[in-house]
Amino acid sequence: MVTLTRVPENPILTPHSEHDWEHDGSFNGCVVYANGTYHMVYRALSYPKQQNGVNMQVSSIGYAKSEDGIHFVDHRPIIFPTENWEIYGCEDPRITYFDGKFYIFYTALSEYPFKAFGIKLALAITRDFETFEKHPVTTFNSKAMALFPEKINGKMAALLTMHTDLPPAKIAVAEFENQDDIWSPVFWTHWYDNANNHIINLLRDARDQVELGAPPIKTNQGWLVLYSYIKNYMSNNKTFGIEAMLLDIDNPRKVLGRTQAPLLVPQDKYELEGNVPNVVFPSGALVKDGKLLVYYGAADTKCAVATCDLDALLDDLKPNTNSVSYYSIPSTDTDRFTRFEENPIIAPILELDWQKKGTFNPAAVYEGGKVHIVYRAQSDDGTSVFGYASSEDGLHIDERLDSPIYVPREDFEKKIHSTGNSGCEDPRITKINDRFFMTYTAYDGVNPPRVALTSIAVNDFLKKNWDWEKPKLISPPGVDDKDCCIVKRVKGDGYIAFHRLGDVIWMDKLRDLDFPEKKFLSGGIIAQARKDKWDNVKVGISAPPIESEHGWILLYHAVSNPGFVYKVGAMLLDYEDPKNILARTSEPVFEPEKPYELNGIVPNVVFPCGAVVIDDVIYIYYGGADTVIGVATMPLKTLVGILLGK
């Protein structure tokens, strides 16, 4: 694994006691090479003085130049806090040379004491480092912005970090039709309203923090970006590290590869001691003679440089195109579903608030040559919504949307109190004619959960035109009813609804799918817990039933004691009379074994809500410990054989 090596000249920039404007700090330098000169802009910190009526250390932007990128001379201040929107400081510049001009983005402080809404981005443009055109940029809390050195798909583009002071921070991409958009409040209002579509997902843990480091560097493998990754940011035991990622040349939201460990952490004295001890903070980078030079702030006091071989780093980052993931469908000699070895296939993206707490209990349908997964996602406040992902091979996720496709709309599923679980839970989807019918658990956090029904045209679903029909409650009030699906009868007219009323599975015969007011599911019990077997506490359906030549295969979940463990079994139901159970597994066909199933929001849980059959193989999609999503497979004939005792 590649790491960065400090240059012997470190620190290359230090505070200057004779310069009041950089008396206490000269750090977070960013360097660009243009017109035969290395130009550095950096954050300078003054000794305490009066600034707009406040006695404080004031940050401004300094400039220095070099012939070799290491030894910098002619220090001078170039950007001072003069405008109301930056009056309490100008911090942490990033510089890019673009179309004959230098674009210097920096953090502008407009409030004191410092508050998140007064920490935003600003821009200074210059050709000569003598005269500057200045603009406030973002309309929300943000820092660390840098322009790409060339257009991407015909547009100017930049990386920035939003919510740096309202964690978790998120590195994101912005694209501009023209230069004026960079400082347009209208542009940024629209961008912010759709922020989920711009975020690069990097957080490994909700307690960590990320921030853009250096401006992107174009390589033959993609855009190389250095950034700060701070572990345990919310604690007193935070660790600053420098990491790198490789972004796609044409789609910079796509991460081709990233380091899994820091390239550099605080170690030397000038990194351990200073205004803010134990800090290495990347702020600039460039390539010289095949070497990557990374400029970083040390302890918020001095500027330093570390290097590595560029090609070696790119080899560490680039995807291994020679590596192919093989997954063999299990042979027929096993009586359990076999997990995909790369599980979990979906986990919470911590930068997306709506799914930060968990992604689990997915519905699945196979349509148009791919598996469509509609999964339950839960935010920190316990609100559940549905997200979307898809897979062409049923195993690897090819697409995953940044925003939910279904959210609570009706009073019966909206949160009544500010705390506790609520929303739309545990979907099941079936195709009936030209529509997908989705049943789910609707819960307001107070009243007993009930079954809700909605539908969408298949064509709209495939086009991602989320025109869902207004949902209606189809289970009676005051009764805990959930885990429902509706299917068209294989033999005979009408429909069958399976649902879990209390702790047992019920079945109801329906003539149509109209549910006028006060018409609710009823029916009768078809299966319940078996006190002398593994499924001895309660039972409910898992995925909608699977058709076979012998009848419907109904996968079901059961809670098993000792341990209150959620496991999966199977039943074979008669097509003519589905309440007639032709066979039922004497042992579970799937149960929690892996850490992501044993540990999570609700431990010891595997909970499928979706299943598809591809080339005579059953793929079940399940929630693991109410936190992540996995997939497991079994040949259809194997499960039929288990049920028939063969």
The CA distances from residue 418 to 381, 386, 559, in Å, are: 8, 20, 30
| Residue in 359, 391, 393, 388 with CA at minimum distance from that of residue 376 | 359
Q: Please report, as a single letter, which amino acid is at residue 613.
A: V
User: Of the ranges 277-286, 322-331, 453-462, 519-528, which one carries the lowest mean pLDDT score?
Assistant: 322-331
Pick the last residue of a domain from 302, 317, 332: 317
Question: Do 313 and 360 share a domain, yes or no?
Answer: no
Q: Please give the torsion angle defined by the CA atoms of residues 586, 592, 593 and 599, in that order, rounded to the nearest 10 degrees.
A: -160
3-class SS of residue 492: coil
E strands present in 67-169: 72-79, 90-98, 101-109, 119-126, 133-136, 142-147, 156-162
Token pair 């039922």: residue: 584
pLDDT in tens, 349-406: 999 999 999 999 999 999 999 999 999 999 999 999 999 999 999 999 999 999 999 9
User: Residue 323 — pLDDT band, cuts 50, 70, 90?
Assistant: very low
In this structure, are 361 and 291 located in the same domain? Answer: no
Q: What is the mean pLDDT of residues 494-517?
A: 96
Burial (CB count <10 Å: 0-12, 13-18, 19+), residue 608: buried
pLDDT at 324: 46
Q: Is residue 348 in some structural domain?
A: no
Same domain, 264 and 380: no
Q: Rounded to whole angstroms, how far apart are CA atoms 173 and 221? A: 19
| Interval 171-218: pLDDT, tens | 999 999 999 999 999 999 999 999 999 999 999 999 999 999 999 999
| 313 and 367 share one domain | no
Return the CATH number at 623. Answer: 2.115.10.20
Q: Does residue 328 sit within a domain?
A: no
- Helices in 416-530 by DSSP H: which ranges? 458-462
Greater model confidence, 378 or 326: 378
Amino acid, res. 196: N
Give pLDDT, residue 328.
61
Between the CA of residue 404 and those of 193, 196, 303, what are the distances in Å?
14, 10, 43
Are 430 and 535 members of one domain? yes
Residues 288 and 370 in one domain: no
- For position 319, what pLDDT does the model report? 72
- Asked if 310 and 425 sit in the same domain, the reply is no
- Return the bridge partners of 571, or none: 554, 584
Contacts 24+ apart (CB under 8 A), 77-82: 77/21, 77/22, 77/44, 78/41, 78/124, 78/126, 78/129, 78/132, 79/104, 79/106, 79/124, 79/132, 79/134, 81/51, 81/108, 81/109
| Gap between the Cα atoms of 539 and 514, Å rounded | 27
Q: Which of 288, 317, 346 is the last residue of a domain?
A: 317
- The stretches of 241-333 forming alpha helices (DSSP H) are 269-272, 310-317
Sign of the dihedral defined by the CA atoms of residues 123, 128, 129, 131, in that order: negative
Enumerate the H helices of 145-268 as residue ranges: 185-193
Range of the domain at 99: 5-317
Mapped onto helix, strand or coil, the DSSP state of residue 520 is coil
Q: The whole model's pTM is what?
A: 0.91
- The residue out of 317, 340, 365 marking a domain boundary is 317
Q: Give the separation between CA 622 and CA 633, rounded to whole angstroms.
A: 11
Write out pLDDT tens, residues 240-259: 999 999 999 999 999 999 99
Q: CB-based burial of residue 192 (10 Å sphere; 0-12 exposed, 13-18 middle, 19+ buried)?
A: middle
Q: Do 300 and 375 belong together in one domain?
A: no
The pLDDT value recorded for residue 463 is 98
Alpha carbon distance 581, 579 (integer Å):
6
Residue 325: C-alpha distances to residues 259, 341, 613, 635 (Å): 21, 10, 21, 20
- Whether 583 and 635 map to the same domain: the answer is yes
448, 430 contact by CB (below 8 A): no
